[in-house]
C-alpha cells in the first residue's frame, strides 16, 4: 500500500495555486481577432524626366510599370512612384503612392473558414480595383511630361533611404533613368573616367554624406545609356561601385537599358551585408 506523504498533501494546493496564474497568462496570449499579414514587397520607382530622356524611353518606362511592375503587385504590397529632378530633397512629392490591403492570417481557433475565405475574396476584388486606379494615375503622370533641368540621382537615393527606413516588407528600388548624373558639381558626361576617378568621386560623396545606407534593398536600373558605349560602361562601373558601398543588392544583370529579370527573385536578399567602407 502506497502512503501519501503529509508534506506532499500540504504542498499540493500551493503548487496548483502558483501554477494557475502561469496558465492564465499562457491562455491570455491568444489573439481575439485575425491580424493582417505584414508581408509583401515595397516597390519604390524613381523616374527620370530630364531632357536627356527621350520620348521613346518614357514610353518604355510607362510600359514597364503597366505591364510588368503593376501586374506583379499583390495584397500587402506597397508602390510609390516619384520623379528624379533637381529639387528632390527640398520638394519631394510622390506622384503615385498606394498600399494594397493585406490579407488576414488564418486562426484555426477563432476563424470561420467560410467567412475567412469570403473576406479574402473581397480583398482580392479591392486589390484589382486599386490596380486599375494606379494604372490610370500612371497614365496621368506620363501625360503631364514633367520637365527637370537637371538629373540629381544622388538626392533620390537619399530619399529612398528614408522611404525604406523601418520597412518590414521586402524592399525593391527601381531607377528608370539613363543614370547620367547632372547636378553640381557632378556632370558624368564631362568626367574623365578611370578607376582612380571612380574612387575619388566615391570618397567625395562619402565625405558629403551622399552615400545612403540601402542594406537589404534590391535595386533595378532601366534606361541606362550614354552617348558612347565607352561612357556607358564607365558610368555603369561607377554605379556598381557606388551601390556596393550602400550595402544594396545590385546585380549587374539588373542594370540595363530595359527592365530585366522582373519580378525580383527570392535570391534578391531581404537582409543586406554590412555597408562597405
Q: How many domains does the chain have?
A: 1
- CA torsion sign for 125, 131, 133, 135 is negative
- Is the residue at 3 inside a domain? no
Which of these, 91, 248, 112, 256, lies nearest to 170 by C-alpha position?
248
**What gap in Å lies between CA 261 and CA 174, rounded to an integer?**
12
- Is the residue at 181 inside a domain? yes
Residue 21 in this model has a pLDDT that exceeds 70: no
pLDDT in tens, 249-268: 999 999 999 999 999 987 77
- Is the residue at 269 inside a domain? no
**What gap in Å lies between CA 277 and CA 273, rounded to an integer?**
12
pLDDT in tens, 74-132: 999 999 999 998 777 788 899 999 999 998 776 656 666 677 667 678 888 999 999 99
- Is the residue at 53 inside a domain? yes
- Is the residue at 18 inside a domain? no
Domain range for 141: 41-256
- Is the residue at 19 inside a domain? no
- State the CATH number of the domain containing residue 240: 3.40.50
- Is the residue at 5 inside a domain? no
The residues, ordered by sequence, that sit 6+ positions from 175 with a Cβ below 8 Å of its Cβ are 46, 48, 84, 153, 156, 219, 220, 221, 222, 223
Residue 147: its pLDDT value, please? Answer: 74
- Is the residue at 10 inside a domain? no
What number is the average pLDDT over the span 43-52? 93
Residue 62 in this model has a pLDDT that exceeds 90: yes
Amino acid at each position: 500500500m502506497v502512503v501519501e506523504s503529509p508534506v506532499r498533501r500540504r504542498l499540493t494546493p500551493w503548487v496548483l495555486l502558483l501554477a494557475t496564474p502561469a496558465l492564465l497568462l499562457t491562455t491570455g496570449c491568444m489573439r481575439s481577432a485575425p491580424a493582417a499579414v505584414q508581408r509583401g514587397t515595397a516597390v519604390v520607382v524613381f523616374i527620370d524626366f530630364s531632357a536627356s530622356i527621350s520620348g521613346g524611353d518614357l514610353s518604355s518606362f510607362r510600359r514597364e510599370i503597366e505591364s510588368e511592375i503593376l501586374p506583379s503587385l499583390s495584397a500587402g504590397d506597397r508602390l510609390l512612384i516619384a520623379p528624379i529632378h533637381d529639387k528632390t530633397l527640398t520638394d519631394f512629392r510622390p506622384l503615385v503612392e498606394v498600399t494594397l490591403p493585406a490579407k488576414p492570417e488564418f486562426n484555426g481557433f477563432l476563424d470561420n473558414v467560410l467567412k475567412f475565405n469570403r473576406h479574402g475574396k473581397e480583398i482580392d476584388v479591392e486589390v484589382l480595383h486599386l490596380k486599375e486606379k494606379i494604372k490610370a494615375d500612371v497614365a496621368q503622370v506620363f501625360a503631364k511630361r514633367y520637365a527637370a533641368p537637371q538629373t540629381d540621382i544622388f538626392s533620390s537615393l537619399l530619399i529612398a533611404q528614408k522611404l525604406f527606413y523601418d520597412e518590414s516588407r521586402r524592399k525593391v528600388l527601381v531607377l528608370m533613368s539613363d543614370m547620367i548624373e547632372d547636378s553640381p558639381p557632378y556632370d558624368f558626361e564631362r568626367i574623365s573616367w578611370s578607376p582612380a576617378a571612380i574612387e575619388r568621386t566615391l570618397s567625395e560623396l562619402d565625405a558629403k554624406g551622399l552615400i545612403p545606407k540601402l542594406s537589404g534593398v534590391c535595386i533595378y536600373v532601366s534606361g541606362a545609356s550614354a552617348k558612347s558605349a565607352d561612357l556607358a560602361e564607365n558610368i555603369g562601373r561607377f554605379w556598381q561601385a557606388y551601390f556596393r558601398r550602400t550595402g544594396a543588392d545590385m546585380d549587374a544583370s539588373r542594370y540595363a537599358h530595359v527592365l530585366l529579370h522582373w519580378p525580383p527573385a527570392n535570391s534578391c536578399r531581404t537582409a543586406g551585408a554590412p555597408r562597405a567602407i
